[in-house]
């Protein structure tokens, strides 16, 4: 008997845009993508107003590595072997979702914008003349122990939950198509509020490109 509980059946189908995205990401050489974000400056807790009203949002774009759809992640074969050999195990292959997963280092200055780093290196972006407070942080370290406390403390999995998706199809330049999908949460039985954050439907609208 499986040690994992049987999940409740999902009544909502997976997103209609998911198969096309999975096709684009199925080639191992194409697992990276550009993630764009817009954020305000980091708050200054020493000021009465941590984020001034005059602060301007700043756009960022960076290349990140796609790790699969949470919680069933796509891992390197060596990572899969290490998880099994160190008796940690893998997530049970019984759940599926449209949530994209990437990894990042919590110490990155722009971690809110999802930059990545090395988890036993000195803090990224700090001067080389400044010795790390933790002597365990050094360049060029190879981490084999998946329970390494230093690396695990800095390691983060970032999960992106799409609520609106657009696709621009340029394959036929004489008939370019643009489609937008918006997630509509299911209503409760009494017609009020959110009937479940994970249940609902995707509204599809064709747009002029």
| Torsion sign across C-alpha atoms 31, 34, 40, 45 | positive
Q: What is the reported pTM?
A: 0.65
CA distance 107 to 115: 9
Both 156 and 203 in one domain: the answer is: no
Q: What's the pLDDT at 11?
A: 57
Q: Sort 85 into a burial class: Cβ within 10 Å, 0-12 / 13-18 / 19+.
A: exposed
Question: Looking at the domain assignment, is residue 6 inside a domain?
Answer: no
Asked if 202 and 175 sit in the same domain, the reply is: yes
Residue 46 lies in a domain: no
- Do 112 and 142 lie in one domain? The reply is yes
Is residue 151 domain-shared with residue 195, that is, in the same domain? no
The answer to whether the peptide bond before residue 71 is cis (omega within 30 degrees of 0) is yes
Query: Which pLDDT value is given to residue 114?
Result: 47
48 domain residue, yes or no: no
Tell me whether residue 47 is in a domain: no
Do 86 and 171 belong together in one domain?
no
What's the pLDDT at 58? 82
Q: 117: domain CATH number? A: 2.30.110.10
**Would residue 3 count as lying in a domain?**
no
* H or E, element range at 62: strand 58-65
Looking at the structure, do residues 153 and 169 belong to the same domain, yes or no? no
Considering the domain boundaries, does residue 4 fall inside one? Answer: no
What percentage of the chain reaches a pLDDT higher than 70?
68
192 and 144 part of one domain: no
Question: In this predicted structure, what is the pLDDT of residue 110?
Answer: 45
Q: What is the pLDDT of residue 130?
A: 79
Q: What is the residue range of 194's domain?
A: 163-209
How far apart, in whole angstroms, are the C-alpha atoms of residue 185 and residue 169? 27
Report d(CA 142, CA 11) in Å as an integer: 44
Contacts by 183-186 with C-beta closer than 8 Å and gap 24+? 183/15, 186/12
Residues 149 and 206 in one domain: no
Residues 183 and 145 occupy one common structural domain: no
**One domain, residues 93 and 194:** no
Is the CB of residue 34 less than 8 Å from the CB of residue 58?
A: no
pLDDT for 188 equals: 67
My answer on whether 103 and 206 are in the same domain is no
What is the number of structural domains in the chain? 2
Does residue 1 form part of some domain? no
Residue 100 lies in a domain: yes
pLDDT, tens digit only, all 209 positions of the chain:
334 444 454 556 789 999 888 887 776 666 777 888 887 766 666 666 666 667 778 888 877 778 888 887 777 777 788 778 888 878 777 778 888 888 776 665 444 444 664 566 777 767 888 787 777 777 766 666 667 777 677 777 788 899 999 999 999 999 999 999 999 988 766 555 554 556 788 999 999 98
CA 119 vs. chain centroid, Å, equals 17
Same domain, 151 and 182: no
pLDDT score, position 117: 47
């Amino acid at each position: 008997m499986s040690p994992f509980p049987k999940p409740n059946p999902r009544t909502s189908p997976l997103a209609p845009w998911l198969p096309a995205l999975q096709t684009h990401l199925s080639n191992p050489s194409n697992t990276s993508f550009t993630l764009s974000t817009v954020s305000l400056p980091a708050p200054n807790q020493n000021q009465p107003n941590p984020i001034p009203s005059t602060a301007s949002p700043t756009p960022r774009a960076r290349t990140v590595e796609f790790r699969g759809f949470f919680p069933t992640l796509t891992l390197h074969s060596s990572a899969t072997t290490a998880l099994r050999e160190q008796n940690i195990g893998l997530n049970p292959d019984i759940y599926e979702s449209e949530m994209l997963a990437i990894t990042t280092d919590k110490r990155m200055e722009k971690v809110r914008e999802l930059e990545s780093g090395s988890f036993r290196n000195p803090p990224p972006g700090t001067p080389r003349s400044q010795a790390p407070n933790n002597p365990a942080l050094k360049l060029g370290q190879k981490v084999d122990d998946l329970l390494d406390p230093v690396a695990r403390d800095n390691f983060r999995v970032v999960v992106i939950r799409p609520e609106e998706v657009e696709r621009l199809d340029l394959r036929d330049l004489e008939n370019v198509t643009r489609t937008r999908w918006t997630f509509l949460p299911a209503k409760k039985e009494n017609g009020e509020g959110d009937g479940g954050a994970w249940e609902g439907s995707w509204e599809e609208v064709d747009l002029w490109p």
